[in-house]
Amino acid sequence: MSYKGVSSILLSIFLLTGCGGIKNIQDLTYIVAIGMDYDEVEDEYIVYLQGLNFANVAKQEGGKPVEKIPSFVGSGRGKTLNLAVSELYGKSEPPIFFGHVKTLVLSQRLINKKSKEVLEEVARNRSLRHRLRIVTTEESIEEIFNIKALFNYPSVYTVLFKGKANGMAQDELQPTSLLYFLRSYYEPMGVAKIPIVTINTSAWKSEEEFPVLYYDGYTMFQRQSFVKNIPLEDSVFLDWMVEKDLALNRPVKDSEELIAAVKLSSPKMKITYEKDSKEPSFSIEVSASADLLEKLKDVSVDELKKLLDEDIKKQIIKLFEQGVESKLDLLNAGEKWYRQHPKAFKELNDSKKFYLQKDSLKDVKVDIQIFHFNSYEYEKN
C-alpha cells in the first residue's frame, strides 16, 4: 500500500475518534424557551424551562407529525435567577442543553416588581443570545408552554417562536428580539416595547375548544422603567407608523356610518423640529398609498380621501396625547431630537422632568393617495 493510502486511513481514524464525545440528538433535553416569574410573598424568582426531546421529531421527514409531540415544562425557585435555574440541573435526564433557546417569556408580575433588575441581568448574561425573542404575558407561563400549534404541531410552531415576516406583514405585531429591545431600552429618549402574548380559546375549535397563542399589545418602557401596557389596536397602529413593512386594513367612516374599507401601505413619516427649542417641539407629516378593499356607500374619491386623512390624523393625535398622559413618547419624537440638540438635551435630562407636553405636537399633516379601486367605480368631483 502506498504511503499516501496509509496516511488517508490514519487521518480518517483520527477524525472519527474526535467525534466520540458528541451526543446523539435523543440524548439531550433541548431548552427552547425560558419563562421568568416572581413570587412577591416569598421574594423568590420562579424559572420555567420548556424542553423538547427531538428523538421523535428527528424521525419525521418533513411531513405532518403522526403522533402528538410532547413538550415538557420544568420549574425551579431561587432567590436569584441563576439559583432558580440551577435547581433543575440535578433533576433533568437527559441533561439540559441551552444552545437552542429561542424565546424569553417574562410574567407581568415580574415586570411590575423586578423589571429593571431582571432586564439588566438578562442584558449582561453571556449565556443568552441577544437575538432570542422576548415577550411578556399575564397568563400562566406553564400553561403557555403547554399549548400546541394548530393540528397538534409542536410548541415550536406557535407565535412564541415566530420569526419576522418575509415581505409585508399585515394587521399584526411582529416579534421583538432581545437585542432590538435593549437597544431602545437604553436610549435616553423614546420608548422600548415588548409584545404581549395571550391565550385565545374562541378562534379555533376541533372536537372542543383549541387554545392558541397570539400577540395582544405591547408592554411599554421609558427611561429604563416599565410604564404601562397598551392594547392591540393601538399597538398595531403604532407599529404601522414607526416600523417598516407593515400594511394596515382600516375602515373608513362618515360619522358612525361605515362607507368603505381600505388597505394602507407602509407610510413615510417625517418629523420636523422647531428651531431653538429647549425641548422637543415638532410637526408630523405622514404619507401613504391605499388600496380600496370594499365600497359600502357611494361617495366621491375626494370625499373618501378626506375622511381617510382625517381619521389617520385623529388617531395620531390621540396616540400622542395618550402617551403624554402616561409619560410615554410613543412616536419616538425625542429620539432624533436629543442627538441634534445635545446641550438642550443635557439641561432637560438634568431636570428629570418628562420632555413632552400636549402642545409639543404643533401640527399633523396626512396625505393618503388611493391608487387601486378593486374594480369599483368612483365619482370624481
pLDDT at 169: 76
pLDDT at 5: 53
pLDDT at 186: 93
pLDDT at 271: 95
* Dist. CA 370–CA 305, nearest whole Å: 7
Residue 9 has pLDDT above 80, yes or no: no
Place of cell 407608523: 241
Q: What is the mean pLDDT of residues 368-373?
A: 88
In the chain, the percentage of residues whose pLDDT exceeds 90 is 56
* Dist. CA 149–CA 289, nearest whole Å: 35
pLDDT at 82: 84
Residue 15 has pLDDT above 60, yes or no: no
Model confidence over 198-248: pLDDT tens digits? 999 999 998 888 999 999 999 999 999 999 999 999 999 999 999 888 899
Local structure of residue 61 (DSSP, 8 states): -
Kindly indicate the confidence band of residue 11, based on its pLDDT and cuts at 50, 70 and 90.
very low
Residue 85 has pLDDT above 70, yes or no: yes
Domains and CATH numbers, the chain: 10-230 (no CATH), 244-381 (3.30.300.210)
pLDDT at 211: 94
Q: Which strand (E) or helix (H) includes residue 29? A: strand 29-39
Q: What is the dihedral of CA 27, 14, 99, 179, to 10 degrees?
A: -170
Kindly indicate the confidence band of residue 62, based on its pLDDT and cuts at 50, 70 and 90.
low
Q: Select the more confidently predicted residue: 22 or 46.
A: 46
Q: Buried b / exposed e across 171-204, counting CB within 10 Å, b at 16+?
A: ebbbbbbbebbbebbebebbbbbbbbbbbeeeee
User: Which of these ranges, 36-45, 147-156, 166-175, 185-194, has the smallest mean pLDDT?
Assistant: 166-175
Kindly indicate the confidence band of residue 187, based on its pLDDT and cuts at 50, 70 and 90.
very high
Kindly indicate the confidence band of residue 23, based on its pLDDT and cuts at 50, 70 and 90.
low
Q: What is the mean pLDDT of residues 150-171?
A: 83
Q: Which strand (E) or helix (H) includes residue 236? A: helix 232-242
Is-contact 30 102, C-beta < 8 A?
A: no
For the ranges 59-73, 192-206, 342-356, the one whose mean pLDDT is highest: 192-206
- Report residue 75 as a C-alpha cell: 420549574
Local structure of residue 358 (DSSP, 8 states): G
pLDDT at 13: 43
Residue 118 has pLDDT above 50, yes or no: yes
Q: What are the φ and ψ backbone dihedral angles of 230, each rounded to 5 degrees?
A: -120, 145
In 3D, which of 91, 32, 27, 19 has the Cα closest to residue 55? 27
Is-contact 175 195, C-beta < 8 A?
A: yes
Number of CB atoms found within 10 A of residue 272's CB: 12
In 3D, which of 255, 278, 362 has the Cα closest to residue 316? 362
* Dist. CA 214–CA 102, nearest whole Å: 17
Per-chain mean pLDDT for the chain:
86
- Report residue 7 as a C-alpha cell: 496516511
Model confidence over 279-332: pLDDT tens digits? 999 999 999 999 999 988 888 889 999 999 999 999 999 999 999 999 999 999
Cα→Cα distances 184→106, 174, 192, 332, 335, Å: 18, 16, 5, 10, 9
